[in-house]
Structure 1
Amino acid sequence: MEELYRAAARGAGWAARGAVRLWEAVGPTPDEERDPTRRKERLRHPDRQRPLTAEQLAEAETELGIALPAEYRAFLLDPPKEGGPEEGGPVNPLTRTADGWRWRTEYTIAYDSLATDFPHPDSYTAEDAALDAREPRQTDFPDPAAFDTAYIAWEREAEAFEAAKTAGAVVLRDGGCGFSTLLAVSGPLAGTMWFDARATCDRILPLKKDAAPGTFAEWLAGETPPDPW
C-alpha cells in the first residue's frame, strides 16, 4: 500500500509539471490578456522571449541569485514584438520550467556560478598557457597505466578551467557547431556581449562597438556584429 501511495504521489507530480508546461506553452500571460496581439505574436514566433511581469522577473532573479543587467531586465519586461537581432537567430528566452527559471539553449549554463564575476579572457591567458604546457605526454611515462592516470587528472583540471571561463555569463544565442553568444551578468563586465569561439580559435571574444565590448542594448539594436569575424 505504501508503494501505491508513493506511485500516486509521483504521478501527481508529473501531472503538475505537465500542467505548468502546458500553461507556459499556451496560457496567456497578464500582458497577453491586456493585449491579445502579444499572444498571437508569441504563437507565431514560439522561440521569442515572452514578456515577464515584474513579479516573475523578481522571482527569477531571486532564484538565480543575481540581479540581471538593467538593459536586459528592460528587454525581459517588454521584448520587441517585431525585429531584434534576427540575423543570427532570436534571443534565447528565459522561462519558468519544471526545474526552475532557465534559459532555453542547447548549451550548458553554469547556474551555480552565475554570481561569480565573468572573467575577462585576457585575465587567464598565462594560466591557460601553463595548463597546456602541463599536458602529460605519453613519452614521459614508461608505464601506460601511469600515463592514463596522469592524463585523466589533467583532463579534469582542464575541463574545470574551461567551465570557469563562462562563469557569470548566460547563453543568449546558440550559434551551432559549438559557437554561442554570451551575456555577462556578474562582475565589472556585466551587461556586455561576448562570442564563445573556443570551437575554432580557443578564445572567447568581445562583440565590439568601436573599441569596447558592446552592451546588450547595442547588440539588440544591431550596433555590434553578430560574431567577431
Structure 2
Amino acid sequence: MDDSIWVGVRERVQALIAAPGGDRVFGAIGHKFFLADPLTPAELADLEGQTGVSLPGEYRGFLLLVGAGGAGPSYGVYPVRLIQGRWRWEGDGAELADLSRLAEPFPREGADPEAVQLLLSEHPEEEDFEEIEDFDDAIEAWEERWEPLMWSADRTVGAIVISTLGCAAREWLIISGPERGRIWFDNRADDEDLKPLLDETGAPMTFTHWYLAWLEKAERQLASAPAAG
C-alpha cells in the first residue's frame, strides 16, 4: 500500500485549528481539529499482534503518518490506545466491536429484510393500549425479538466502530472479509439496517476517500469563513 497519500495530511488538519469559523464544520465542536500522535511501527505491530489481524492498508498508513485518532469525519476518528497493556478503540459505541473476532469476515448480507419489515410492522404503539403498563410490557416483548435480529454481535464481526454522528448513529471500518477497508453506516438506533457508505459515484467508500473528502470539505468551509475582528 502506497502511504504517500497521507503525506502532509496531518499538517493540513492542524492548520485548521487556528482557522476562523471552526464551529461551521460538523463535529468540530468535539474534536477541535486536534489529532493524537501517530503510532510508531512498533506500536502498530503490537496492536496487530494483539488483535490477530493486519489492519487495512489505508488505515495503517493513517495511524502511522496522520494520527492514532482525533479530528475527522463527524465527531472524529475514534482513537486507538494502549490501556493497561491492552489496545482498544475509544468512543461512543466502540465496545460494540468484538476485538477477539476481528479476523472473521464481516457479514455484508445484513439481516433478513422480510423479517425486519415484519417485525417493524408489529411494533407496539402507545395509543393502542389503555394502560401504560401494558404498553411497556408489549415494548419489552417486542425488543426481545428485535435485539437478536438487529444487534447480534455476529452482525459486526470483523469490524470496528470508527466514528459517531451522534444520537447512536455510527460508522464502522471493516477489517476483514470482502468489504475490508470500507466504511459502513450504522443507524440501527432508528431501526435501519447497516449499509455501506457510497461515494459521489456510487462506489463503496474507502477509508481514504472517507477521510480526505471530509478534510477537503472542511478546508473549503473554513476558507470561506469571514475573518475575525
TM range (shorter): 0.5 to 0.7
- Superposed displacement of residue 206, structure 1: 1.9
SS of residue in 1 equivalent to 2:188: coil
1:180-195 aligned at under 5 Å gives the runs 180-195=170-185
Match of 1:70 among 44, 57, 62: 57
- Superposed displacement of residue 91, structure 1: 0.9
SS of residue in 1 equivalent to 2:176: coil
Q: Normalised by the size of structure 2, how large is the TM-score?
A: 0.60
Tell me which residue corresponds to 2:88.
102
Letter in 2 for 1:206: P
Letter in 1 for 2:194: I
Q: Normalised by the size of structure 1, how large is the TM-score?
A: 0.60
Tell me which residue corresponds to 1:114.
102
Whole-Å separation in 1 of the counterparts to 2:146 and 2:85? 28
What is the alpha-carbon root mean square deviation over aligned residues?
4.0
Relative to structure 2, which stretch is displaced further, 119-128 or 205-214?
A: 119-128
Whole-Å separation in 2 of the counterparts to 1:98 and 1:80? 21
SS of residue in 2 equivalent to 1:191: coil
Q: For residues 37-68 of structure 1, what are the alpha-carbon distances to aligned partners after superposition, in whole Å with 9 as ceiling and x for unaligned?
A: 99xx7xx8696332111111111111112211
Whole-Å separation in 1 of the counterparts to 2:180 and 2:109? 14
Whole-Å separation in 2 of the counterparts to 1:59 and 1:153? 44
SS of residue in 1 equivalent to 2:47: helix
Query: Which stretches in structure 1 are left out of the alignment for 5+ residues?
Result: 1-36, 137-147
Residues 106 and 174 in structure 2, CA contact (< 8 A), matched pair in contact too:
yes
Match of 1:204 among 186, 194, 198: 194
The aligned length equals 177
- Superposed displacement of residue 127, structure 1: 5.2
- Superposed displacement of residue 181, structure 1: 1.2
Residues 121 and 204 in structure 1, CA contact (< 8 A), matched pair in contact too:
no
Residues 73 and 210 in structure 2, CA contact (< 8 A), matched pair in contact too:
no
Larger RCO: 1 or 2 (CA < 8 Å, sep 6+):
2
Tell me which residue corresponds to 1:92.
78
Give % identity. Answer: 33
- Structure with the greater alpha carbon radius of gyration: 1
Letter in 2 for 1:70: G
